[in-house]
Structure 1
Amino acid sequence: MTIWTILGGGTCAVVLLAAGALLLPRHVHVERQATLAGNADAVLALAASNTGYQRFNPYLSTDPDLKIDPFGPETGIGSGFAFDGKDGTGTQVVSAVSQDAVRYDIDLGAMGQPTQMIAARSVPDGVVVTWSMDADMGFNPVGRVMGLFMDAMIGKTFERGLGNLATAI
């Protein structure tokens, strides 16, 4: 067996693995839901505020050195913050507010630009809060493989955030 045969076989294996990874889903959706004591208006007021969000920010629970720099208006569209911590750097900006949800555009630089939404619906025994994220993993084979693990990774973060929110409202 010559070196060219080994290199050719290795190249073919890499190409096949990359092509196989591109068959994985491009779009990732993560969602968690909880019924909390309180009402939808209180949840959405906190969620739409750059400082209110910090009262339940799930990353503050695990990173005491997380740096948060609020910007824009205190609440509503354009309200946001820059963050820098052990889990990454970027920005989160309120991009839409409706009577039942707040949407965020997140910029993680080279890590991507996912969107998140916190929806709240009052029910007789409290408020049902749904926290979700959508991400486009693009044509990057590594990103597509990472997409397989997003639910487990981000889902735990959302669960922690919902727990924090339960004590904040």
Structure 2
Amino acid sequence: MGVIKWVIRIVVLLMVIFVGGAFLLPKETNVSRTVLMNAAPEVIFPYVSNLQATQSWSPWLDRDPDVQLSFNDVPEGVGAAMSWQSDHPQVGSGNMIVIEAQNARRLVTALDFGEMGTATAFYDLVPVGEGTSVTWGFTSDNGNNPMFRWMGLMMDGWVGPDYEKGLNNLKALVEGA
């Protein structure tokens, strides 16, 4: 009987450490990547502000060529929306809508991944000499969910490489145009 009590105490202690430790972690997760492109912001911006155009450089569509995409009737800019459905675990299902678009300089989208939560993604295009520094990133509020806070520690490793690949795909597309 003493062994069972000892095991229960260890399990309770580990749970307290897991939950309590989560509240020491950041409430917000931020991931971003930046690539310098040899093109003007006005050349690059249509590839991010028109959600249908993102199909030509998205890092996720290669993973599941059978992903189901749908778009609303707003072609680009604020109000443009896209939803996707995939059985592939690295693609998943969700939707996004453009909530801010600033003159070939900044685009912000609201993302909804269903049970996996919500996030805000952005593209910042900053002229640098004759090129453009393009930053693609996202911010997610992990709330008070201990599991989401722990997962937030891994998001940079999970999403960062995809953002790098997408930006490099976009770079090849706009520099080749």
Q: How does 1:19-34 map to 2 (within 5 A)?
A: 19-34=20-35
User: What is the root-mean-square deviation in Å for CA atoms of aligned residues?
Assistant: 1.5
1:7-18 aligned at under 5 Å gives the runs 7-18=8-19
Please report how far the alpha carbon of residue 51 of structure 1 lies from its aligned counterpart in structure 2 after TM superposition.
1.0
- Aligned-partner SS, 1:75: coil
* Equivalent residue for 1:153, pick from 158, 161, 174: 158
Moved more, 3-12 or 86-95: 3-12
Residue by residue over 1:15-42, the C-alpha shift from the partner in whole angstroms, topping out at 9 and shown as x without a partner, is: 2221112211111111100111211012
1:96 equivalenced with 2:96 (yes/no):
no
**Aligned ranges 1:20-169 → 2 under 5 Å:** 20-85=21-86, 86=88, 87-99=91-103, 100-169=105-174
**Residue identity matched to 2:32:** E
Contact 1:116 1:133 in 2 (8 A): yes
Distance 2:35 2:167 in 1: 7
Long gaps (5+) in structure 2: none
4+ runs deviating over 3 angstroms = 2-6
Alpha carbons 2:40, 2:130 under 8 Å: kept: no
SS of the residue 1:116 aligns to: strand
Q: Give the TM-score of the pair, scaled to structure 2.
A: 0.88
CA distance in 1, matches of 2:68, 2:157: 25
8 Å contact kept, 2:41–2:132: yes
Q: What are the superposed Cα offsets for residues 36-77 of structure 1, whole Å, 9 maximum, x if unpaired? A: 121101221221112112222121132222221111401111
SS of structure 2 residue aligned to 1:58: coil
Counterpart AA for 2:92: G
Partners in 1 of 2:157 and 2:108 — Cα distance?
A: 22
Of 133-142 and 12-21, the range deviating more from structure 2: 12-21
Amino acid at match of 1:32: R
Identify unmatched segments of 5+ residues in structure 1.
none
| In structure 1, distance between residues paired with 2:63 and 2:141 | 26
Instruction: Give identity over the alignment, percent.
Output: 27
Residues 50 and 71, structure 1, Cα contact 8 Å, conserved in 2: no
Q: TM-score, normalised to structure 1's length?
A: 0.92
For 2:66, the aligned partner's letter is: D
- Report the Cα offset of residue 143 of structure 1: 1.0
